[in-house]
């Protein structure tokens, strides 16, 4: 009898990992996977019961608007689980949705494994008690997470970060510049404003004002700006914000090539900072939430840094412009400093060399699949 596995991923980055994990699991176990995700998971052979795009949102209070969709999708998944009786449930990132699903699945006798767990070591550490009750095994992507979870009585295995072997460009700077009709003689600034519409709305207006300032201050050889669109978005999401400014090129489906060709980057905090760091790209990290969400978040966060690359390295390697510090003037100043200082760029690149060591040797998806396959056999 073909084993059934429920799999749930609610973000663009986690859906990418879920698709790769699903493909490996099907090869190793012959299992049929069903659940929540997006296009990549469908292409990997997952039967989608729900589209993750229905609940994609950022912010504590912004989530409230999505609650009807959250409850509807969760109910749909639980109904399918009751019918199919999955041998396991694999939950990937997206703790706002998946932790609640984990509780209800565990109450129904479904074994739960969590890949890329909630960052309870960074904020709301009390949630680790929920995880202990709901999750049979955590598969974590940073080495310090394994110790943290085990210290709190949660079975955890460090499998490494799935980005380590995936992040690489397939074009040289010269090839990318030529392909996109850019100027090889001018500096290039990559813009990664986020993967959700809400992030674009919060970030792009400030970035555009900073671009205008940089162009004014760096004449006659002003930098060229290339916006790397996340796979969950397309050029149409950005056009309303770019009407007041010329010559910001939007490139879809080539984030790593954009970064590898850049002299520096403006990056929305999240997985993209790790991708830029692995590619050795000097960056300024930005992020802004709604004021109400930010007010609550300040009281929940317990780490000295916001950017993932700084958290992994354990020090403030890249500048962080978060919330009220994220202004056009501050962003222009930090970007200008990186463009003007080869020394600053070289020092940041040297720090990034440590990232790959800290993120494991590679093969994270295969290692995660092996742990899950062993759980199926047991």
Measured CA angle at 104 (ends 103, 105), to 5 deg: 95
Nearest Cα to Cα of residue 225 among 201, 196, 204: 204
List the beta strands (DSSP E) in 150-238.
Answer: 156-158, 188-192, 224-229
Tell me how far apart the alpha carbons of residues 77 and 110 are, in angstroms, rounded to a whole number.
Answer: 12
Task: Answer whether 344's CB lies under 8 Å from 282's CB.
Answer: yes
Tens-of-pLDDT digits for all 378 residues of the chain? Answer: 899 999 999 877 789 899 999 999 999 999 999 999 999 999 999 999 999 888 764 444 445 566 888 899 999 999 999 999 999 999 998 888 899 999 999 999 999 999 998 877 766 677 899 999 999 999 999 888 899 899 999 999 999 999 998 899 999 999 999 999 999 999 999 999 998 888 999 999 999 999 999 999 998 888 999 999 987 787 788 888 988 788 899 999 999 999 999 999 999 998 899 999 999 999 999 999 766 554 445 544 556 788 889 988 989 999 999 999 999 999 999 999 999 999 999 999 999 999 888 888 889 999 999 999 999 998
Q: Please state, as a whole number, how many other Cβ atoms lie within 10 Å of the Cβ of residue 243.
A: 8
Task: Answer whether 154's CB lies under 8 Å from 132's CB.
Answer: yes
Nearest Cα to Cα of residue 281 among 210, 235, 335: 335
Residues in CB range of 287: below 8 A, 6 or more apart: 203, 268, 269, 306, 320, 321, 322, 323, 326
Phi, psi for 243 (deg, rounded to 5)? -65, -30
Is the bond preceding 220 in cis, omega lying within 30 degrees of 0?
yes
Task: Answer whether 202's CB lies under 8 Å from 289's CB.
Answer: yes
Tell me how far apart the alpha carbons of residues 378 and 325 are, in angstroms, rounded to a whole number.
Answer: 51
- Supply the DSSP symbol for 141: S
Domains of the chain: 4-162+360-377 (3.40.50.2000), 173-358 (3.40.50.2000)
Measured CA angle at 108 (ends 104, 112), to 5 deg: 70
How many alpha carbons fall within 13 Å on the CB side of residue 352?
21
Burial string for 80-103 (b: 16+ CB within 10 Å, else e) reads bbeeeebbbbbbbbbbbbbbebbe
Helix H or strand E segment including 183: none
Task: Answer whether 289's CB lies under 8 Å from 299's CB.
Answer: no
Per-residue pLDDT at 293? 53
Tell me how far apart the alpha carbons of residues 52 and 265 are, in angstroms, rounded to a whole number.
Answer: 28
Task: Answer whether 337's CB lies under 8 Å from 187's CB.
Answer: no
Tell me how far apart the alpha carbons of residues 108 and 78 are, in angstroms, rounded to a whole number.
Answer: 9
């Amino acid at each position: 009898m073909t084993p059934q596995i429920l799999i749930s991923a609610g973000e663009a980055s986690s859906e990418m990992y879920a698709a790769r994990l699903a493909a490996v699991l099907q090869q190793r176990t012959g299992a049929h996977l069903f659940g929540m995700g997006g296009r990549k998971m469908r292409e990997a052979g997952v039967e989608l019961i729900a589209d993750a795009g229905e609940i994609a949102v950022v912010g504590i209070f912004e989530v409230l608007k999505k609650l009807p969709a959250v409850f509807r999708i969760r109910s749909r998944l639980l109904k399918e689980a009751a019918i199919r009786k999955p041998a396991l449930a694999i939950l990937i990132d997206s703790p706002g949705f998946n932790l609640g699903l984990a509780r209800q699945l565990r109450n129904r006798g479904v074994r739960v494994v969590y890949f890329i767990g909630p960052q309870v070591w960074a904020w709301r550490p009390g949630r680790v008690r929920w995880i202990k009750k709901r999750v049979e095994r955590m598969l974590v992507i940073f080495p310090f997470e394994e110790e943290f979870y085990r210290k709190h009585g949660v079975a955890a295995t460090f499998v490494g970060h799935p980005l380590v072997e995936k992040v690489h460009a397939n074009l040289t700077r010269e090839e990318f510049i030529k392909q996109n009709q850019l100027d090889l003689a001018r500096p290039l600034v990559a813009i990664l404003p986020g993967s959700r519409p809400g992030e674009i709305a919060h970030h792009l207006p400030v970035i555009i004002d900073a671009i205008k300032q940089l162009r004014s201050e760096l004449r006659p050889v002003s930098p060229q700006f290339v916006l790397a669109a996340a796979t969950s978005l397309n050029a149409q999401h950005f056009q309303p914000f770019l009407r007041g400014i010329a010559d910001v090129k939007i490139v879809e489906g080539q984030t790593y090539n954009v970064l590898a060709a850049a002299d520096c980057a403006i990056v929305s905090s999240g997985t993209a900072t790790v991708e830029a760091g692995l590619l050795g790209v000097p960056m300024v990290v930005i992020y802004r939430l709604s004021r109400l969400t930010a007010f609550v978040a300040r009281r929940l966060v317990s780490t000295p840094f916001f950017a993932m690359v700084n958290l992994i390295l354990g020090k403030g390697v890249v500048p962080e412009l978060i919330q009220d510090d994220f202004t056009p003037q501050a962003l222009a100043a930090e970007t200008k400093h990186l463009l003007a200082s080869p020394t600053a760029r070289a020092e940041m690149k040297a720090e990034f060399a440590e990232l790959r060591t800290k993120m494991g040797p590679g093969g994270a998806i295969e290692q995660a699949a092996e742990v899950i396959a062993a759980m199926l056999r047991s």
